[in-house]
Amino acid sequence: SKVNKRQITRDHDLPYDKFCRRWNGRKSKSTRDPTNRLLNDEQDLALCEFLRRLDYTGVTPMKSTITLAANTLLRKAHSGSGKTPTAGTKWTSRWLKAHPDFHVKKQ
């Protein structure tokens, strides 16, 4: 038998549009892949590996070191004539918040 979506949303006090999007397989914002990431997974992994190597040698980086490393990765990966994306100091702070394993020297 056919499912009555309107009736389900009324019975469970759900927004009809949102219910239909989930019914059709669309993910919620919290479960979707992020769209505004500066580094891709491979670049992120390379940055983490770089910082682990610094840590292994006893060097604690400053935020500017992380920013410079991220910008180097972005510059090497950039192709085309457009402007190369760059990481700023706020990006570095957000990246560190998302990667709590890494610590930096105060500048």
pLDDT score, position 28:
84
Taking only the tens place, the pLDDT of each residue in 63-98 is 999 999 999 999 999 988 889 999 988 999 999 999
Q: Could you tell me the maximum CA-CA distance found in the chain, to the nearest angstrom?
A: 67
pLDDT single digits (tens) 22-71: 899 888 888 877 667 899 999 999 999 999 999 999 999 999 999 999 99
Count of positions (residues) in the chain: 107
The pLDDT of residue 88? 87
pTM: 0.69
Judge whether 88 and 67 are in contact, CB under 8 Å: yes
Whole-number pLDDT of residue 100:
94
